[in-house]
Structure 1
Amino acid sequence: MKKYALFLFLNLFLTHGYSQQTADTLKAVILESERLERPRQLIPESEVTPATLKRYNPADLISPLNETPGLYIFSGSLNTNRLTIRGVGSRTPFGTNKVKAYINQIPVTNGVGETSFGIFDPEALGSIQVVKGPKATVYGANLGGTLLLNPLLPSQGQGYISTSQTLGSYNQYKQSTQVGIHENDLSVFLGYDHLQQDGYRENNAYNRNGYLLNMKKSFGNDFNLKFLFNHINYSAQIPSSLNRSDYLNNPEKAADNWAAAQGYEDDNATLAGITAETRISGKLLNTTSIFTTYNDHYEPRPFNILDENTFGAGFRSLLQYAINEHILVNSGLEHLRDRYSWRTYENLYEENNGMGSLQGILLTDNREKRSFTNVFTEIKVEYGDLRVQAGINYNNTRFRFTNLPGSMEEIEIERDFNPVWSPNITLTYQAAPQLNIFLNTAHGYAYPSLEETLNPEGLLNPEIAPEKGWNYETGILYDKSGFRVQTSVYFMRIRNLLVAERTAEDQLIGRNAGVTHHFGLEYSIEKQLPDLAGIRLNLTLNGTHNWHRFETFADDGNDFAGNKLTGVPEYILVPGIQAQWSSKFYTNLTGQFIGSIPVTDANTLYSDPYGIFNLRAGYTQPLIEDLVLELNGGINNVLNKKYASSILINASGFSGAAPRYYYPGLPVNFYLNVHLRMTL
């Protein structure tokens, strides 16, 4: 006799899954015990589906994510990306923070709050869920939101070997090999990928190797054991940003100082974790993970050489208790300890006879230990057509900073941030079989990044406080007869705005200043047209409109209250058309239209709006029994538009040089992919 799972609403209202459910299945469901799944939001999550990933170059994870309403990634190159959600993170100079990511319930975000989502091979991911704003109580009330990455894992009875080879512009070559096996109670996915390219610009070469092992072993219906291992090593040259003249007239060049230093980064990152899913009783399920991360990073820059390493370890435990078929309680704990060490050295590239960077004497030697604790609980209740999800998240963050002898006078600072309590409540009402209305109010926070905690002397600023804010959101989800619309209107007010100020070419400091208003409209529209002459057409439109402003913000004697928030596009539109005929041919055309972006807090400079189109087509053909060949290729930026794919806000010029605001986007470029898959 089958036992039943503990939680009731896990598959309700998901962006992907909702469109395939009937009105009856929108009622509370009880999942079989074999299907132990993660908690999900009542409000629809946005999902990067396999179909979305397949619309782009197999080496490209940025473009599929950029289809998500409310999300935008500034991409300077493969190793220089900054992800923002609803304007949160737009002021971070480099990298991604204020957004947390998980893979198989294991945190990807490190102890200094940075998320490197680009370390994963797009061909090894099944999907990515995006929770926008601080609604994901059980994953931490992150102001920006949460990414949930789902790696491939073979389903029951599935087995295969596949290889994918991609050639592209700028001597791009990507090779991916995957093995998937599911036999009896064991499921294994093993993937390897290699990516290299010379790059569009000078000093822009990239070389990466990645390894991913994802395993699941079932011991009866009441216990699953999972293991995840991911390792990546890459070397990437850094061309950096350009001033406006170079961006317009010579976008292929690297910044002069980075070219002279032949700046680059060399990175080795490992993540490993074990997850146990245990049915304790017919109403109680526990999911517990233990994990560890390690990162070794070496980066010669024109102003110094950075040598850093990070080691983290932690655990996460979630209890799910079904009081009855209408009430479900999730409660748990997540704890992470992180040790970050970094040294800087002189870079003697100017004395190295044009050979690039040369390590000199030690300048600074620092250690930082950080501890994060999240405790959370939420309850989901169904009453007729009304569903309520209410929860609260408690966060306590502590760190200890040590400046070691030999760099400056020894300094040690301990900081225990005040605990943050973040409530969250969501209501959804099924007004009709095809129509759901939702409301949400949630509190969130974002801790400062390492650079934002430093004062002008390069030491820890104990006065820095986390950003905090409330998100208010309402929207609808309508799905009927191949026509699907999801819309959201939100307002978020953030105080203790963290401002990064560049005091020197090699130094950024942070401080709390001002309040921002984030008001926006997001929508996702999909229409499947009737088949025409055997051709199936699907039309999509994802849109984001931002009205984000400073409520209060004064800097260096200037009052910027009322100005548009720096680094946020006015709008983002992603239209698309997908066509498939027979079971062999497919093609898709996808656009991306980005509005102007305020580049300075004074709003005296804006980036130019732009629109580009990407085209892809493919053909699938069985060769022999159990062996399938797929040929596909694409053209990106079909019309060869000039545009800036990333903006460095509030850039300053030093030694008389013009400010470098721009990272040029790629001109028209091509790729061709050959994919072979053999069923075992």
Structure 2
Amino acid sequence: MLFIVHIIGISAYAQEFEGKVLDANTGKPLENVEVKDLISGKTSITNSEGKFEFEKIEFPLEIEFKKIGYLLLIKSFQERVQLRNIFLQREFSQLSEVIVRGSNIPQTIREIPASVGLISENDLERSDNFNLVQNFNYVPGVFVSQGALNTNKINIRGIGARSQYSTNRIKAYINGIPLTTTEGEVTLDDFDPEYLDRIEIFKGPVSSVFGAGLGGSINLYTKQNQKKQKSVSANYSYGSFNTRKTRANLSFVKDSLDVSLNYNQVQSNGYRQNGEYDRISFLGSAGLINKSGNYWTFFFSYTNLKAFIPSSLNENDFRNDPEKAAFTWNKAAGYESYDKNILGISYEHKFSTRLKNTTSVFYNSRDGYEPRPFNILDEVRRSLGARTRFNFQTEVFGKPSELSFGAETMLEFYETSTYENLYEQAEERRSVQGDRLSFNEQDRNYVNAFAQINSELTSKLLLEAGLNFNSTRYVLEDRFNTDNLNQSGDYRFNAVISPRLGLSYEAFAGRNFYASASHGFSTPTVAETLTPEGLINTDLKTETGWNYESGFKGNWLNNKLYTELNLYSIQIRNMLVARRVGQDQFVGVNAGKADHNGIEFSSAYQTRIFPDLNLKFFLNSNFNYFEFDRFVDLGENYSGNTLPGIPHYMVSPGTEIIFRSLSLNINYQAFGRMALNDANSGYTDPYQLLNLRLDYSWKLSAKADLHFNLGCNNVLDERYASSIVTNAIGFGGSAPRYYYPGNPRNFFGGIRLDLNL
């Protein structure tokens, strides 16, 4: 009797358990995945169909899924379930087979005849979690000038570097929803890096796909939950300069519904005077698969920001008193504040196995107020738009091909007023709004129509061809006509056609050579079309450029090593430059031609030394040769000079050491000098940064995990200019204020609790 009872007891707890492991991007089965029960120590290896199984195993289970090139996954199972799918995410900073989602026709990164920088969720955890765009500096060909948490400007291959205080000439999307305004400006500082799954950066003129984006395109993607769960995550981070971040995230996945909500607040006193920062953000995303297998997605974001502005310093203050703010900005307590909303809904409909359509509608708004020493800017921006894309799989001359075509349009309403700033009359340090100086309404709209075809000319040779048509117009209403000069009118930029042609050839297994030629353009911004007096410059032309590129992408050492080499030449015409007309005041002018020539190299290697010890190494670098081809401004000839505001080189090696639940990131960056002005009369010093971060994960139970991180930025305490104001001019006998000081050595740490409900 006791024997029978014992056998019955074993059968109740010792059961079979099986499943299938798939690639999260492609859905293909994964072979040779090590599947280990952490409680009993039993191990199973997946077969060619991705299947694994355990016999006579007791529940609950704590299963670890491990495969080189994929992120480690640990899942808990309380009871036996039917054969289920387990999805592993690629460590795509390492491997070349990740599917790039931002292009009209998704392809693996190795097959795309273009340079695409990828930032994974793991990459976003290399340093602190306070600022998203600081992570872009590890991508070859991308440089972020960081004046403060809210003063960042991004340039790609030197395009956008001449913007004074913002990022322009770059298209940006989040989950396919445009973030760039109709005039070409974008702000990415608002987004919580911990809410994102990956970032794809298309470099150089790619207007055949994205429209008005001479510098390229940045595509953000939020996390998508692959398993059924209800989870809550909460964390708190603290760093130098009294910098704090509070964050909470709720995820709910059931059947065909996937919902994620995020709250985060970042506050800081700042390293410099007048550097206080306070930002609150709410983000949410949802996905729903209907009964027909079609997919709805929803995204919203709300941001409230108030950030004071210390502004730039002259060389003496930069070297001897970098913590101070510019005198006038400190006296006026200058700052920027805004409320911003982003809302988008997308629907993917499959008409058949060969034809599908993705359509999105979106709405953006921004209500901003910015007191500056020279005036106070009050602006409201609202935009509404839609994008639709069809993808059709077919054959061309008997070869597998895919055709994509569609259109994108946006209508934007922009209202701006400027007022006198009477801060000098105030006894305390603050701005005081005076009389109105200007009042304008500018309504812009654009239409992009695009088409692209990818075709396998042979089993090894791939062709990509694309075409984009853009029409942009704006209507200006001058509502402040005290000078009897009415600038109201209907203005239109010339229509632009942007072609692209690329070839990718797999010379050896897993190793591709490619070549491409693509066209790009960017229309002038509102700030460039309007003079400080509120008058419009109707003579500005669209800035255009051609990008010629060739390169190599390949895997080595059993796919443990991935290398990429890119050589490019971009010729810019009708180059838009900022001409200084007053203190912190600029107007745009078309001033000539520029040649952007460069070399980029990236590599990543990972290996497992012992079962519990993994090593990852990367080396990213670029060398730039950016010069004015022909540039004459106000009688001065700058032809042949180096473009200012761009480091001559960037070299960034790094390593990640993972031992069980402990990981250490060591990241080094070296940047070359930057020219301060068009005349090349001065340069910044080269500088180097060393950043460290240590992470530890502690599994409290089957449903609770605790994570700790501790780190240090700028370990070497380097004194450097993290951003410069190109072509600064001193007024009233004062020295020009070129420099934004970078932060000195600073520390950070955080704790996060994850609960599976």
TM-score, normalised relative to structure 2: 0.84
Which runs of structure 2 are paired with 1:10-409 in the superposition (5 Å)?
Answer: 17=92, 20=95, 39-40=105-106, 42-43=112-113, 45-135=116-206, 137-140=208-211, 142-324=213-395, 326-382=400-456, 383-405=458-480, 408-409=483-484
Instruction: Give the corresponding residue for 2:572.
Output: 494
Q: Secondary structure at the match of 1:553?
A: strand
Q: Secondary structure at the match of 2:317?
A: helix
2:643 aligns with one of 565, 584, 609:
565
With over 3 angstroms needed to count, the CA separation of the structure-2 counterparts of 1:318 and 1:533, relative to structure 1, is closer
Q: After the TM superposition, which segments of 4 or more aligned residues of structure 1 sit over 4 Å from their partners?
A: 7-10, 14-22, 35-38
* Cα distance between partner residues in 2 of 1:300 and 1:635: 34
- Would you say 1:451 and 2:527 are equivalent positions? yes
Deviation at 1:355, TM superposition (A): 3.5
1:609 aligns with one of 681, 686, 699:
686
Identity of aligned residues (%): 37
1:657 aligns with one of 734, 746, 749:
734
Q: Is the 8 A contact 1:467 1:496 kept in 2?
A: yes
Which runs of structure 2 are paired with 1:612-651 in the superposition (5 Å)?
Answer: 612-651=689-728
Q: Mean Cα displacement is larger for which, 306-315 or 280-289?
A: 280-289
* Cα distance between partner residues in 2 of 1:564 and 1:458: 32
* Cα distance between partner residues in 1 of 2:27 and 2:755: 37
Deviation at 1:499, TM superposition (A): 1.3
- One-letter identity of the residue aligned with 1:436: N
* Deviation string, structure 1 residues 208-244 (Cα, Å, up to 9, x no partner): 1000110111103431111111010010000000000
Instruction: Give the corresponding residue for 1:522.
Output: 600
* Deviation string, structure 1 residues 338-395 (Cα, Å, up to 9, x no partner): 0110111111111111241111111111110101111000000012111111010111
- Would you say 1:477 and 2:548 are equivalent positions? no
Q: Secondary structure at the match of 1:439?
A: strand
Q: Is the 8 A contact 1:141 1:393 kept in 2?
A: no
Q: Is the 8 A contact 1:141 1:443 kept in 2?
A: no
Deviation at 1:111, TM superposition (A): 2.1
TM-score, normalised relative to structure 1: 0.94
* Cα distance between partner residues in 2 of 1:521 and 1:260: 45
* Cα distance between partner residues in 2 of 1:407 and 1:39: 53
Deviation at 1:652, TM superposition (A): 1.0
Instruction: Give the corresponding residue for 1:3.
Output: none
- One-letter identity of the residue aligned with 1:507: Q
* Cα RMSD after superposing both structures: 2.2
Which runs of structure 2 are paired with 1:517-556 in the superposition (5 Å)?
Answer: 517-531=595-609, 534-556=612-634
Deviation at 1:408, TM superposition (A): 4.0
Q: Is the 8 A contact 1:141 1:422 kept in 2?
A: no
With over 3 angstroms needed to count, the CA separation of the structure-2 counterparts of 1:36 and 1:429, relative to structure 1, is closer
Q: Mean Cα displacement is larger for which, 435-444 or 273-282?
A: 273-282
* Cα distance between partner residues in 1 of 2:680 and 2:103: 46
Deviation at 1:411, TM superposition (A): 2.6
Q: Is the 8 A contact 1:347 1:359 kept in 2?
A: yes
* Cα distance between partner residues in 1 of 2:93 and 2:247: 32
Q: Mean Cα displacement is larger for which, 274-283 or 449-458?
A: 449-458
Deviation at 1:610, TM superposition (A): 0.3
- One-letter identity of the residue aligned with 2:540: I
* Cα distance between partner residues in 2 of 1:331 and 1:494: 27
Q: Secondary structure at the match of 2:351?
A: strand
* Cα distance between partner residues in 2 of 1:271 and 1:63: 22
* Deviation string, structure 1 residues 116-154 (Cα, Å, up to 9, x no partner): 011111111111100001236332252100000001232
* Cα distance between partner residues in 2 of 1:467 and 1:565: 16
Q: Secondary structure at the match of 1:411?
A: coil
Q: Is the 8 A contact 1:586 1:618 kept in 2?
A: yes
* Cα distance between partner residues in 1 of 2:211 and 2:27: 20
- One-letter identity of the residue aligned with 2:419: Y
Q: Is the 8 A contact 2:400 2:455 kept in 1?
A: yes
Query: Which ranges in structure 1 are unaligned for 5 or more consecutive residues?
Result: 1-6
* Cα distance between partner residues in 2 of 1:267 and 1:148: 23
Q: Is the 8 A contact 1:363 1:407 kept in 2?
A: no
- Would you say 1:421 and 2:497 are equivalent positions? yes
Q: Secondary structure at the match of 1:188?
A: strand
With over 3 angstroms needed to count, the CA separation of the structure-2 counterparts of 1:17 and 1:578, relative to structure 1, is closer
Deviation at 1:170, TM superposition (A): 0.6
With over 3 angstroms needed to count, the CA separation of the structure-2 counterparts of 1:9 and 1:431, relative to structure 1, is farther
* Deviation string, structure 1 residues 486-520 (Cα, Å, up to 9, x no partner): 11000010010101101112531111111100000
- One-letter identity of the residue aligned with 1:561: S
* Cα distance between partner residues in 2 of 1:79 and 1:96: 11
With over 3 angstroms needed to count, the CA separation of the structure-2 counterparts of 1:600 and 1:37, relative to structure 1, is closer
Deviation at 1:528, TM superposition (A): 2.1
2:583 aligns with one of 505, 513, 517:
505
Q: Is the 8 A contact 2:92 2:120 kept in 1?
A: no
With over 3 angstroms needed to count, the CA separation of the structure-2 counterparts of 1:219 and 1:304, relative to structure 1, is same
- One-letter identity of the residue aligned with 1:114: E
Deviation at 1:557, TM superposition (A): 1.6
Deviation at 1:21, TM superposition (A): 7.0
Q: Secondary structure at the match of 1:66?
A: helix
Deviation at 1:15, TM superposition (A): 10
* Cα distance between partner residues in 1 of 2:612 and 2:319: 46
* Deviation string, structure 1 residues 459-508 (Cα, Å, up to 9, x no partner): 11111001111100011111122111011000010010101101112531
With over 3 angstroms needed to count, the CA separation of the structure-2 counterparts of 1:263 and 1:413, relative to structure 1, is same
Q: Mean Cα displacement is larger for which, 347-356 or 469-478?
A: 347-356
Q: Secondary structure at the match of 1:56?
A: coil
Query: Which ranges in structure 2 are unaligned for 5 or more consecutive residues?
Result: 1-24, 29-88
- One-letter identity of the residue aligned with 2:463: V
Q: Is the 8 A contact 1:223 1:277 kept in 2?
A: yes
With over 3 angstroms needed to count, the CA separation of the structure-2 counterparts of 1:628 and 1:504, relative to structure 1, is same
- One-letter identity of the residue aligned with 2:446: F
Q: Secondary structure at the match of 2:735?
A: coil
* Cα distance between partner residues in 2 of 1:463 and 1:673: 52
- One-letter identity of the residue aligned with 1:384: S
Aligned length: 661
* Cα distance between partner residues in 2 of 1:89 and 1:647: 13
Q: Is the 8 A contact 2:346 2:360 kept in 1?
A: yes
Deviation at 1:178, TM superposition (A): 0.5
- Would you say 1:676 and 2:753 are equivalent positions? yes
